């Protein structure tokens, strides 16, 4: 059954123009071509990335966080209460008003104390500021190095300047060592992100990020197998161009360097809009949609490849709208800038405190007046 499915999936008429096939990608006369079997190396490389990440975060990110002045917020630990803990873990972290009243009677505490317990307990599960900084610094380092490496690998290639060169000679395009390592390292990094998704900070666009990672892995893998490597390297370079700027903005945000953070975010937004909403659709998508059919009749692989690119473009538009909302808040006259950057996904603690104060009729909490700073803080 599996053999039959494999034969159906790898049919030449699906992935190649008429008259071409896998035999054309066999190494000969000193020319080396990409092969599907090469992708297995990404699994051990992804595991290596996870190890390197742990070492990097401990030996580089933590000292850097201290140097930049990242300060953890002291959190009050919820007192041990088996009844409330059981409900928190097994039912919901956000009980309704009626559930809180019922639980307060069972736990032998007041309604306000039960509500406060759930608020503190939720805070305990939120990722620390240092954890967020470590993640951002790791991604910043990779994206920056990947962008520099990709630029170095492409700057002397003719298809970097003339996109018609991307398809000349397709599919018998010789694999270059720089292309091999660029592909393998990029693909391994995204595989490592999927491996670590359970322990990484979950964000508002968590589902979109998963779709992005899976689509990216499938896109890179597919483009490798059918030798769309020239187009693939250009696509990866376009994406790497702005990612490291976002991660740097996050790092400065966690360190409390507001002016620097805002400047980096504005720079990121500008690069993102240019690369993802102008260069990608008008240059890259045009290159993959128009140029191939001038040389070969359309085939399934052509539609499949461009379908994945359109999915990525939809995600670009989704993120662009989120970014635009943030940029508008920087305009003159907006005195309060809520921290809605890509990693502000956990429920804001200050908002919860304000909500708790309202539920308690604006009285006192923990014996002190309830305070609200008027702006969101990134947890």
In a domain, 139, yes or no: yes
CATH number at residue 99: 1.10.10.60
CA 70 – CA 257 distance, rounded (Å):
10
Query: Does a structural domain hold residue 1?
Result: no
Q: Mark whether 40 and 117 lie in a shared domain.
A: no
Q: Is residue 104 part of a domain?
A: yes
| Residue 17 included in any domain | no
Distances (CA, A) of 81 to 34, 111, 124, 253, 276: 59, 14, 14, 35, 50
Rounded to the nearest 5°, which phi and psi values hold at 35? -135, 145
* Number of structural domains the chain divides into: 2
**112 with 247, same domain?**
no
Looking at residue 198, its pLDDT comes to 67
- What was the pLDDT predicted at 367? 35
Report angle CA 107, 111, 113 to the nearest 5 degrees: 75
Supply φ then ψ for residue 77, to 5 degrees.
-80, 140
CA 60 centroid distance within chain: 21
Sheet strands (E) in the chain = 364-365, 368-369
**pLDDT for residue 331:** 63
3-state percent breakdown (helix, strand, coil) of the chain, nearest 5: 70, 0, 30
Is 374 inside a domain boundary?
no
Full-model pTM? 0.75
Q: Is 186 left (phi over 0), alpha (psi -120 to 50) or beta?
A: alpha
Quote the pLDDT of residue 84. Answer: 78
| Residue 341 belongs to some domain of the structure | no
Q: Do 158 and 273 share a domain, yes or no?
A: yes
Q: Are residues 120 and 228 in the same domain?
A: no
Give which of 160, 186, 192 is closest to 49, Cα–Cα: 192
On whether residue 303 sits in a domain, the answer given is yes
Q: Are residues 195 and 213 in the same domain?
A: yes
Q: Does residue 258 share a domain with residue 112?
A: no
Please name the residue that has the structure tokens 């998963």.
Answer: 210
In this structure, the answer to whether residues 42 and 121 fall within a common structural domain is no
Mark whether 215 and 359 lie in a shared domain. Answer: no
Q: Are residues 64 and 166 in the same domain?
A: yes
**In this predicted structure, what is the pLDDT of residue 47?**
94
Residues 170 and 308 in one domain: yes
Taking alpha carbons only, the member of 297, 296, 291, 293 closest to residue 164 is 291
DSSP secondary structure code for residue 275 in this structure:
I
pLDDT attached to residue 60: 94
pLDDT at 282: 93
Sequential pLDDT tens for the chain (379 residues): 667 766 666 677 777 777 777 777 777 777 888 888 888 999 999 999 999 999 999 999 999 998 988 876 666 677 777 877 777 777 787 787 888 778 787 777 887 887 887 787 777 667 678 888 999 999 999 999 999 999 999 999 999 998 988 888 777 788 889 999 999 999 999 999 888 876 777 666 567 677 777 878 888 888 898 888 899 999 999 999 999 999 999 999 888 898 898 889 999 999 999 999 999 999 999 999 988 888 888 888 888 888 888 988 998 998 899 888 888 876 655 544 444 434 343 333 444 444 444 434 443 333 333 333 333 333 3
Distance CA 54, CA 60 (A): 10
Statement to judge: residues 178 and 300 lie in one domain: yes
Residue 368: phi and psi, rounded to 5, are: -130, 155
Neighbours of 316 (CB within 10 A): 19
- pLDDT value for 341: 38
Burial of residue 16 (number of CB atoms within 10 Å: 0-12, 13-18, 19+): buried
Would you state the pLDDT for residue 98? 82
- What's the CA gap between 306 and 287, in Å, rounded? 10
pLDDT value at position 155? Answer: 93
98 and 218 assigned to the same domain: no
Give domain status of residue 263, yes or no. yes
DSSP letter, residue 279: I
- Domain with 99, as residue range(s), is 82-127+347-369
In angstroms, the CA 259 to CA 282 distance is 33
């Amino acid at each position: 059954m599996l053999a039959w499915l494999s034969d159906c999936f790898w049919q030449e008429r699906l992935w190649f123009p008429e008259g071409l096939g896998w035999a054309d990608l066999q190494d000969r006369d000193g020319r080396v071509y990409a092969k599907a079997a090469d992708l297995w190396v990404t699994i051990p490389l992804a595991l290596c990335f996870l190890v390197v990440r742990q070492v990097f975060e401990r030996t580089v990110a933590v000292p850097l966080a201290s140097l930049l002045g990242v300060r953890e917020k002291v959190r009050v630990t919820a007192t041990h209460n088996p009844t409330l803990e059981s409900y928190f873990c097994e039912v919901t972290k956000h009980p309704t008003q009626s559930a809180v009243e019922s639980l307060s009677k069972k736990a032998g505490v007041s309604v306000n104390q039960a509500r406060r317990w759930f608020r503190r307990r939720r805070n305990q599960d939120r990722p620390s500021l240092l954890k967020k900084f470590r993640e951002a610094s790791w991604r910043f380092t990779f994206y920056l190095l990947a962008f520099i490496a990709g630029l170095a690998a492409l700057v002397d290639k003719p298809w970097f300047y003339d996109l018609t060169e991307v398809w000349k000679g397709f599919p018998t395009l010789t694999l270059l060592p720089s292309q091999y390592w660029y592909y393998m390292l990029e693909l391994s990094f995204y595989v490592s992100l999927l491996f670590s998704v359970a322990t990484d900070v979950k964000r508002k666009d968590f589902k979109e990020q998963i779709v992005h990672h899976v689509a990216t892995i499938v896109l890179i893998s597919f483009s490798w197998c059918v030798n769309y490597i020239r187009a693939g390297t250009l696509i990866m370079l376009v994406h790497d161009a702005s990612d490291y700027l976002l991660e740097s903005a996050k790092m400065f945000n966690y360190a409390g360097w507001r002016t620097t953070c805002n400047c980096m975010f504005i720079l990121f937004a500008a690069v993102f809009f240019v690369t993802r909403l102008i260069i990608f659709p008008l240059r890259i998508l045009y290159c993959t949609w128009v140029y191939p059919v001038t040389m070969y009749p359309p085939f399934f692989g052509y539609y499949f490849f461009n379908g994945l690119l359109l999915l990525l473009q939809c995600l670009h538009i989704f993120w662009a709208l989120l970014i635009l909302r943030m940029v508008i808040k920087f305009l003159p006259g907006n005195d309060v800038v809520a921290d809605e950057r890509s990693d502000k996904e956990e429920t804001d603690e200050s908002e919860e405190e304000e909500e708790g104060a309202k539920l308690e009729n604006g009285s006192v909490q923990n014996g002190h007046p309830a305070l609200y700073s008027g702006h969101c803080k990134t947890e």
